[in-house]
Chain A
Amino acid sequence: MLPLGATAGGLNFMEVFVQQVINGITIGSLYGLIAIGYTMVFGIIGMVNFAHGDVFMVSAFFALIFLLLLTSWFGIASMTLALILVMVVSMVLTGLLVWAIERIAYAPLRGSFRLAPLISAIGMSIVLSNFIQVAQGPRNKPIPPVTRDVYTLWEGANGYPVNLSLKQIIIWVVTALLLAAFWYVVQKTALGRAQRACEQDRKMASLLGVNVDRTISLTFVIGAALAAVAGTLFLMYYGVVVFSDGFTPGVKAFTAAVLGGIGSLPGAVLGGLLIGLIETLWGQYVSADYQNVAAFSILVVVLIFMPQGLLGRPEVEKV
């Protein structure tokens, strides 16, 4: 994650800071979208879905392939239409992929010993990234910029501009809309109720007629669909994707989930935004080289000193 607009200067302190905050919120939104997948799965079956970062990467590839398909084969000229179609297709296919992964690699291990699903997920993560490397080639996949529109908010001394690009606005708006829709699903629909019930007490929920297996599968699928949105937006924002892109955003999103309090949905979004902000500001003011070190250090510090996170419930040790 490169710091964007990294012309530091004491002269334009305010401008640089605001610019970095804008960039940070943008990246943070993506982390938040991915983090929801981690936090929901952890909440419902207590498993760190290690392959989630790679699912995000695969979704970016789905988006890439369908964008090319729509623009070059079907000749759709309208970028807006293409983007919307691509996002929907990517969500559906990623959901399907994760449904298949869950059936193959995780569902048989339910009720097995605790490390089994984690190991299986690590294996899945290796499978996904190497599968993409083999199937799509190891090189960077650049696309032409979807839009170049940039709005200058104001200019500081020496004409240093504070920019807000259309891409960033798209990311903010899409993230906000998606989160609202997601919130509605979790709070108001039967599926969301079943999900929350399973999270609290799986055995009791199944006694009351909730199809626990199906609910868990759908939890995975919903998390994957949100990761697919993040993947599409990631591709649009950076204009490039490569098979190894899953690991680092995956770990950062997991950090976000932990920071916000694992199991807590608003926490995941809050954590994502915080991680995005900390990362960009660290890159701007401390050291761009050690940007990822900062993100990993936050993870360590948070886990050691406040493992329940910002909005999470403290874990009670049961004998």
Chain B
Amino acid sequence: MNSAVKPSDKAAPDFGRALKDGVIIAIIAFALLGPLVGLKTDQNMANELILQNHLGLAAILSAVVGVGRFLLSAFVYPRIAARGNRSKAAATLAELEARARVTRGLSITGLIFLFVYPILIISLFGVQGSIKWVDNYGVQILIYVMLGWGLNIVIGLAGLLDLGYVAFYAVGAYSYALLAINFHLSFWVLLPVAGILAAFWGIILGFPVLRLRGDYLAIVTLAFGEIIRLVLINWKDFSGGSAGISSIPKVTMFGIYSFDVSAPNNFAKVFHLAASSAYYKVFLYYLILLLALLTAFITIRLRRLPIGRAWEALREDEVACRSLGINTTNTKLTAFAIGAMFGGFAGSFFAARQGFVSPESFIFMESAVIVAIVVLGGMGSMIGVALAAVAMVGGTELLRELDFLQVVFGKGFNPDQYRMLIFGLAMVGIMVWKPRGFVSARQPTAFLFKRKTVSGDLVKEGHG
């Protein structure tokens, strides 16, 4: 049935093969999509499950898959093969230097852009219209940039795969929420407290598990992340259970101006501006920007300290490290704790920004998203992580804007529900296409005579 859609008139020999590929793939796709898409289970009025027939849609999708495969086989694969055996790993030094220069230029322009972004947005969309762009895009992406940079210390530098990073994010968020509500402490006091508590939890959780290697470490950290979330759900006296904690105090501008509408020193009132939540959003934007840059700055400095060198050495070869007298447990623990600390900072910021925390915000999927950002960015590369956060979080956020697609796909089409699906596909796609991430050039901090750039392929990923 799907062969009808194929351009079957082309009879060149290699097209024949591609055509066969396409037809086979289309048939396989139909076998899988037929039931899953074509027969949608739905409840009728009597609450019984019935099947709705969408087989036409499944057939169209399968045909699309088949045609896609045909095009790949006919045009893309031959071209890749024709490009020859020039190995991806063997990029020349000049190329790498050029790439590194682009990266450096990009980070400086990016930095300037980040600082003027809210001003730009306000001048474009007005004060009230800026909220969405500053909050949903700016703040949201920067939180993930910060989390990515924090986790980058653990995964990118020390080479420990941590799938439970969201636990420390949760510790930070709940520390701020609980301490601010019960003890009426200010955000500026609690920010370091949240960081210290998260680091403390990093040490507690890290101590027993850091003997483990690679995948095992990943799974144990995943289990710890889930345990913390489940405890937050079930220990209702402490955390409010799955209902969460609401009306968490807002951040004040160092105690001088408040953003509470009722407060006498409300920012808008003092400056005789029209009441709007946009000022708070802009303030939050600069706050998270500074926090993220702090993370980046500390990471860059740490890389040049003995401890940072030890992390990277550990990632390259643990046995060699041990034989050189590096205390691997302590080295791993510091990486874990410092990474956790930044997670805690981000968490307390998150709680203050949302005004509400619940265990729902700290599901495994969040950890997976952060890990994806770090790995897709090219582990260890700061600018790569930032780019990945923009692409993955901002890109999926953009889907919310695609309401015009309702014209094409009919009313009730909600692009937002495809957000995570596309995220997952992007994760797989980027891994297959570029296993080393977006930015795969590295500049080692320790060098002989002259700083050189190396390919990311030369960097190991550590044993855990």
Contacts and interface: CB of A to CB of B under 8 A. Distances in A.
Interface stretch (A8-16, A112-120, A155-163, A263-271): A112-120
Contacts of B223: 251, 296-297, 299-300
A310 interface: no
Given A120-B427, A296-B223, A48 B420 contact: no
Nearest to A42: B215
B220 A62 contact: no
Nearest to B25: A100
Interface stretch (A123-131, A145-153, A201-209, A212-220): A123-131
Contacts of B76: none
B51 A123 contact: no
B452 to A, nearest CB: 21
B375 interface: yes
B415 to A, nearest CB: 11
Among B32, B223, B420, B428, chain A packs the most CB atoms within 10 A around the CB of: B428
A187 to B, nearest CB: 27
B134 interface: no
B368 A122 contact: yes
Interface string A131-151: 111111101011110000000
A319 B319 contact: yes
B226 A292 contact: yes
Interface residues of A, number: 66
A72 B50 contact: yes
Contact of A96 (B31, B161, B226): B31
A293 B230 CA distance: 7
Contact of A136 (B40, B427, B435): B40
B364 interface: yes
Contacts of B39: 65, 68-69
A62 B35 contact: yes
Given A300-B224, A319-B319, A61 B36 contact: yes
A58 B36 contact: yes
Nearest to A66: B35
B209 A304 contact: yes
A304 B208 contact: yes
Interface string B368-402: 10011001100100000000000000000000000
B372 A123 contact: yes
B218 interface: yes
A127 B421 contact: yes
20 contacts: A65-B51, A69-B39, A100-B28, A100-B32, A109-B432, A115-B461, A120-B427, A122-B372, A122-B427, A127-B428, A130-B420, A133-B417, A135-B37, A136-B40, A247-B364, A258-B219, A290-B234, A293-B227, A297-B223, A300-B223
Interface of B: 28, 31-32, 35-37, 39-43, 47-51, 161, 208-209, 211-212, 214-216, 218-220, 222-224, 226-227, 230-231, 234, 319, 364-365, 368, 371-372, 375-376, 379, 417-418, 420-421, 423-428, 431-432, 435-436, 460-461
What are the nearest 9 A-B pairs in CB distance?
Answer: A123-B427, A126-B424, A127-B424, A130-B421, A123-B428, A296-B223, A120-B431, A289-B234, A116-B435
